Amino acid sequence: MRVIHELSERWFITHGRAMQNILFEKEKIGELELKNRFLMSAGTGTWNADQDNIPHDGDGYIHFEIASGGVAMVISGGLNVSPSGVSTSHSGMFADDRSAPFMSIFAKRIKDGGALACLQISHGGMWAWKYAKKRNIAPFAPSFIVDAELGDYSVSRRIDLPATEGQICELIEAYGNAALRAKKCGFDAVEVHAAHEALLSQMLSPVSNIRKDKWGGSVENRARFHIEVLRNIRSKVGKSFPVIMKLGVKDMLEGGLSFEDGVAAAKIIVEKGGVDAIEVSQGLSPGLLDFAYSSMRTGITRLENEGYYRHWAKLVKGAISHTGAKVIMQGGLRSFELMQEVIEKKEADFVSMCRPYICESAIIKRWMGSDRKKSACISCNKCIIRAYTEGKKLECVLKSGNGG
């Protein structure tokens, strides 16, 4: 009798308590049901791509481990929809069916782990021009490319090179084709990367988009490319396939996208583009590895530093709630209680983390039990530095003992 009592008590702690919490309640994105409110935001270092930027190699992906750790949906790192968007030799491309065999395995292994699989599709825009030039591929930029390091938009170092109408239409098609390919590969959803340094951020920002035609000028015009990309995707994947957009709603640059325009853009994009969810993030920053102004902030040691896009996500949620589109909050979320409060107060519909899963793949399973201690991730960013600059496997240096 005592044994039964003890067992049922343990069951209550590990299951009953979890069931009671709003973070473990089901919710939908479009018509797709997620088993809880936790997502993994896009995060990869290298796609183990070959000389043609085709992703390979089924082993060593931390995403597979994370998928079995209790999270509802894993979003892959960004894959380029066109050769003109690839910026390094190890970046992955999803521009044709050569990428399909490995990406089908990637989706299946995430799903076998118990999570839904979402593919992020992206394009490097002006930052990909040097690599494009090396391979004799025409670069793609809203208005100009800069002959300098990331973030230096100065007039003296820029080469005017506005994409032609034909190039724009072709690229819109490429996003649609990539999304359809993702669906055929078995992914449950796609996410269009429109944040950080990605092409769609460059399109939305008045710093990098100085076009005078229908693709530039007013916020409606700067968001036109987003809407056309989403409409093209929808026409190909159908009504019930979830489409998410990770949207940068404010640039961290002088003269860049204002938050006011960012929210206006979010509203137009949802209303006219028919996207199912917006994952709120920032737009352009002054330099990729200047983490203080990037989406990967460091020094998240106190509760006050957590959730650095919380206020933005809450306001975006207010602006689009009439549409039924969902809002995903991310950016430095580390504590269970904070995320619970966010969902309880309806500031967002989902919460998402990236670095904490790299640090502890089964953090959600731990939280489903009685241990609700915050993530042990110290946001040192060594995971991304090693992966991007040294092409090493994505892992937490605290776990591997490789210099944490």
DSSP string of 228-262, one letter each residue: HHHHHHHHHH-TTS-EEEEEE-S-SSTTS--HHHH
- Name which of 58, 37, 13 is nearest 327 in CA terms: 37
Tokens of 278: 């917006």
Residue (150 or 161) nearer to ligand FMN, CB: 150
Query: Which residue in 78, 162, 216, 242 binds ligand FMN (CB under 6 A)?
Result: 78
Work out how close the CB of 167 gets to ligand FMN at its nearest, in angstroms, rounded to a whole number.
23
Residue 359, interface with ligand FMN (CB under 6 A)? no
Residue 310, interface with ligand FMN (CB under 6 A)? no
Query: Which residue in 72, 178, 353, 363 binds ligand FMN (CB under 6 A)?
Result: 353
Q: How far apart are CA 194 and CA 200, in angstroms?
A: 5
Q: How far apart are CA 351 and CA 279, in angstroms?
A: 9
Spell out, one character per residue from 166 to 195, where the chain touches ligand FMN: x when CB under 6 A holds, - when not.
---------------------------x-x
Helix axes 224-237, 165-184, angle to 10 degrees: 40
From the list 36-44, 110-118, 153-161, 174-182, the region that binds ligand FMN by CB under 6 A is 36-44
Phi, psi for 335 (deg, rounded to 5): -110, 135
Tokens of 304: 């006050």
Residue (100 or 288) nearer to ligand FMN, CB: 288
* Cα first-last separation, the chain: 48
How do the residues of the chain divide into helix, strand and coil, expressed in percent and rounded to 5? 45, 15, 45
Work out how close the CB of 306 gets to ligand FMN at its nearest, in angstroms, rounded to a whole number.
9
Q: How many CA atoms lie within 13 A of 297 on its CB side?
A: 19
Q: How far apart are CA 363 and CA 356, in angstroms?
A: 8
Q: Please list every residue from 254 through 293 that binds ligand FMN, using CB under 6 A.
A: 281
Residue (188 or 191) nearer to ligand FMN, CB: 191
In terms of DSSP bridges, do strands 79-80 and 158-160 run parallel, antiparallel, or are they unpaired?
unpaired
Query: Which residue in 18, 36, 38, 45 binds ligand FMN (CB under 6 A)?
Result: 45
Query: Which residue in 55, 77, 92, 206 binds ligand FMN (CB under 6 A)?
Result: 77
Residue (103 or 216) nearer to ligand FMN, CB: 103
From the list 41-49, 104-112, 145-153, 200-208, the region that binds ligand FMN by CB under 6 A is 41-49
How many residues line the site for ligand FMN (CB under 6 A)? Answer: 27
- Name which of 292, 304, 312 is nearest 379 in CA terms: 292
In terms of DSSP bridges, do strands 326-329 and 350-353 run parallel, antiparallel, or are they unpaired?
parallel
- Name which of 403, 401, 402, 387 is nearest 48 in CA terms: 387
Q: Please list every residue from 195 through 224 that binds ligand FMN, using CB under 6 A.
A: 195-196
Q: How far apart are CA 376 and CA 240, in angstroms?
A: 37
From the list 43-51, 86-94, 132-140, 182-190, the region that binds ligand FMN by CB under 6 A is 43-51
Work out how close the CB of 80 gets to ligand FMN at its nearest, in angstroms, rounded to a whole number.
10
Query: Which residue in 246, 250, 326, 386 binds ligand FMN (CB under 6 A)?
Result: 246
Query: Which residue in 30, 34, 36, 41 binds ligand FMN (CB under 6 A)?
Result: 41
- Using CB under 6 A as the criterion, which residues of the chain lie in contact with ligand FMN when the complex forms? 41-45, 77-78, 120, 193, 195-196, 246, 281, 295-296, 330-333, 353-356, 383-384, 387, 394
